[in-house]
Amino acid sequence: MAFDIKKLLRPHILSIKPYSSARDEYSGKEGVFLDANENPYSSPTGEAFNRYPDPYQHLIKERLAPIKGVGKEQIFLGNGSDEAIDLLMRAFCVPGKDNVLLLPPTYGMYEVSASINDIAIKRVSLTEDFQLRPKEILEAVDEHTKIIFICSPNNPSGNKMRRSDIHAILKGFEGLVVIDEAYVDFSDEPSFTTELNEFPNLLVMQTFSKAWGLANLRIGMAFASAEIIRVLNLIKPPYNISGLTQERVLASLENAEKVKEVVAAILKEREVLEKALKRIPLVQKIYPSHANFLLVKVLAAKEMYDYLTQEKIIVRDRSKVTLCDNCLRITVGTQDENRRLLEAMSEFQPLEKTLKP
Ligand SMILES: Cc1ncc(COP(=O)(O)O)c(C=O)c1O
């Protein structure tokens, strides 16, 4: 199917001129900079935070492009992936008219962002084993459906989606297909970044918040065709990634091999945790995970959640979410954290009446 970004974008976006930042006309490093109303002195702590950062994060993109096997012009960096989600809604969906298609149970920010932007939501739930229903998804699309959000590996279920199902959606839908790969580093599945050149309607999101351990810095990635990335850069706030974040991300990219070690350690702990959880009598089911968390079905989920919170062990209660009845989502912690979780879960005694059918 033909993908035409001009037809898909909100019409006024095409005529927007980007904010021209004070330094766009001069890219030299040396000079007397009196153009951006910056403070010429250092910051109160003595650190040099007084100058604005690079709005397009060139150095990070130069390092990241070969790591991800994409061109620099195919990378957008946002204040977390959450910024990319919001910008996509604002670029493509006319409030009060267009809609996005969500596949519950899934990551909550797609819905939050759509609601903030007054964009309608269509939903096609996943199957019982959390896989996509490509036929129903393509049937649910209408002329106002601009974006389909697929999360793989999926939050909160943890599984990866079948690649052939994603291909069917990419081929059958004329709008934008976003594949959120926040957890892809924990999976054996190759990233969809390898298929960007085949699918002009594909955008892949990843994040530095999970495997890279940089959640506090707030930086997420989007990979797509240069023409889609150009639009995101056009409408983003000019200095969306702070200089400090850029500096620390660059340093992290120099130590990329560390990420592999940390991921291996988390995967090993996930296996240990899964085995130990299976031995707890109240645990009914542990769903297969390709992420750094486990979705666990238990007897008396809400009561167990409250008990764990009281014990200062915070997990995520997903029991009210589509297809996640009585489920807790548990992040894989350190050996010690997991041990404390397991101890508390083993000691928990639900009330008799909670267990009665
Ligand atoms: C599927 C998914 N996408 C995106 C994010 C957010 O990532 P970021 O920290 O880059 O905003 C999360 C965070 O939990 C997530 O689960």
Residue pLDDT, tens place only, 14-73: 899 877 776 777 778 899 999 999 999 989 999 999 999 999 999 999 999 999 999 999
Closest to 37 in 3D by CA, of 27, 57, 51, 53: 51
Residue located nearest, by CA, to atom 2 of ligand 1 = 182
Quote the mean pLDDT of the chain.
Answer: 95
Reported pTM: 0.96
Residue located nearest, by CA, to atom 12 of ligand 1 = 182
- The strand pairing partners of 328, in sequence order, are 296, 317
Atom nearest to 106 CA in ligand 1: 1
Atom nearest to 154 CA in ligand 1: 1
Residue pLDDT, tens place only, 100-144: 999 999 999 999 999 999 999 999 999 999 999 999 999 999 999
Q: Choose which residue among 76, 77, 79, 81 to substitute to test ligand 1 binding: the one with the highest number of ligand atoms within 8 A of its C-beta.
A: 81
Report the DSSP pairing between strands 176-180 and 145-151. parallel
Residue pLDDT, tens place only, 246-297: 999 999 999 999 999 999 999 999 999 999 999 999 999 999 999 999 999 9
Residue located nearest, by CA, to atom 3 of ligand 1 = 182
Would you say the C-alpha torsion 306, 308, 310, 312 has a positive or negative sign? negative
**Residue 352: which pLDDT band, with cuts at 50, 70 and 90?**
low
Q: Which residues form the pocket of ligand 1, taking CB atoms under 6 Å from any ligand atom? A: 80-82, 107, 151, 155, 180, 182, 207, 209, 215, 220
Percent of the chain surpassing pLDDT 90:
92
What is the Å distance from ligand 1's center to 205 Cα?
9
Neighbours of 257 (CB within 10 A): 7
